[in-house]
Amino acid sequence: MLRAFLLYLSRAAWARRLVTRWRFARRAAARFVAGDTLEQTLPVIRGLNEAGLYVTLDHLGENVTSQVEAEGATGAYLQMLQTLADQGVSASVSLKLTQLGLALDKGLALENLRRIVERAAQLGNFVRIDMEDSPWIDATLEIYYALRDSGLDNVGVVIQSYLFRSEADTRTLLKRKARIRLVKGAYDEPPQIAYARKKDVDANFDRLTALILDAMAEHEHDIDVAQGQRPPILAVATHDEKRIDFAKEYAQRVGVSRGALEFQMLFGIRNELQRRLAAQGYPVRVYIPYGTEWYPYFMRRLAERPANLWFFLSNLLRR
């Protein structure tokens, strides 16, 4: 119930107007959002790189309402790619297609994304398409396949374990040797299409992890290891140590090396676990968001874990 309410607030315009006026709310969000600008975020990226951690960078924003906004977001990502190259930091890119105009026109989003992925390829970088809530899944996968069919392979996608459809989607993606980030899912989905109980989401997460690792082991000569911005076939994106332990043990059982199993975590959450996994020889990539459109992202982080919500409420009480 609380999670559903917080996810509702993440989409509510009135709540956004209220919360974003609170200075302490932006200070609380700074735990999860590295800065308002790329320039403010660069030192964070450098610090993580120096600690042996990879980075994926998200310029916050979603659900744009005009072509002008979509073009502006596209330009921001193109500039981000150039700045990362110029500054010599190691960071791939994550983005949402509704930020590139998917809600306006699928063709517009495809062409905007194509420009970004082509530029990333020229600069030796990689782009991950974040998966949004269920109305956008089919279009997102169609756009991903269109880019792959055009010869671009420096692009990956996300699968959410709370959806019933995810096993079928994963099997299709594996036939295309897709680079998959596996997450639990952060949106409020109806029970007709998504698991409602955490234990079922977790069980499906482990099933999908095993499915992907089995495919990697079956084609051992094709297994990729993490190299700079380019992630391997499977990125296990969770802070849940039981899911992490399952992935580690199953990979060892089927013969997938540590360098071919990447773990991804969010900036500001479980920093000690990130460094522990990296010390064990696993590639670890930190998802760093930045930008002024922090409100929806922040509210979804509060909805995910009670500890995050308590962190926010404790700041509110102190205020």
The active-site residue out of 119, 128, 181, 301 is: 181
Domain boundaries, the chain: 34-290
Q: How crowded is the C-beta side of 197, counted as CA atoms within 13 Å? A: 3
DSSP-derived letter for residue 173 is H
The CATH classification number of 34-290 equals: 3.20.20.220
Does this model's pTM top 0.85? yes
Considering the candidates 130, 169, 188, 202, report the single residue annotated as catalytic: 130
pLDDT confidence of residue 31? 75
Q: Is 180 left (phi over 0), alpha (psi -120 to 50) or beta?
A: beta
| 130 tagged catalytic | yes
pLDDT tens-digit map of 141-200? 999 999 999 999 999 999 999 999 999 999 999 999 999 999 999 888 999 999 999 999
- Let me know if 181 is a catalytic residue: yes
Mean per-residue pLDDT, 68-83: 97
- Please report where in the chains the tokens 């194509």 appear, as a residue: 114
pLDDT 10s digits, 253-301: 999 999 999 999 999 889 999 999 999 999 999 999 998 776 767 677 7
pLDDT tens for residues 32-74?
888 889 999 999 999 999 999 999 999 988 778 999 999 999 9
